[in-house]
Amino acid sequence: MEEDRPGSLLIILSDGDEEGRKWELEQTDHGTCTFRNQTSGTHLNFDGDPHVNKAGRSGNPREWQLRPHPGLAGSFHLVLPGGPVGKDELVFDASLLRVFPPQSALRPIRPQDIAQTWKLIPV
């Protein structure tokens, strides 16, 4: 897993570090939520303005909207709230870069695509 520092890349897949994959979901008063890594204390966020292919970690929380997938119970798109960026709504997704370790990025939402969804499992 990448070193946990503000602005470092967020890697959801791990090399056996189960603790690094545990995220605390905190609901906000706006109907959104934030994600904080229980090991590092960093948040699911990115630096600067949102755009396609951008994602990372930060010490500051970022609000996300959980949008249920219409055909897959218990799975959600993590949508960046506030409307479209350019012409698309953006979601937290796997990067298109074919690198190891795999990376995550903001990508245009594909509402029917289950590959863009995340299953949240209480621990």
Beta strand residue intervals within 1-123, DSSP E: 23-27, 33-37, 43-45, 56-58, 65-68, 75-79, 90-94, 104-108, 118-119
Residue 15 has pLDDT above 70, yes or no: no
Q: What is the pLDDT of residues 30-62, one digit of tens each?
A: 999 999 988 888 888 877 788 888 766 677 899
- Round the CA-based radius of gyration of the chain to a whole number and report it: 14
- Can you list the domains of the chain with their CATH numbers? 18-119 (2.80.10.50)
In this predicted structure, what is the pLDDT of residue 19?
A: 59
Above 90 in pLDDT, residue 77? yes
Q: Is the pLDDT of residue 7 over 50?
A: no
> Model confidence over 87-119: pLDDT tens digits?
889 999 888 888 887 778 899 999 888 889 988
Q: For position 51, what pLDDT does the model report?
A: 82
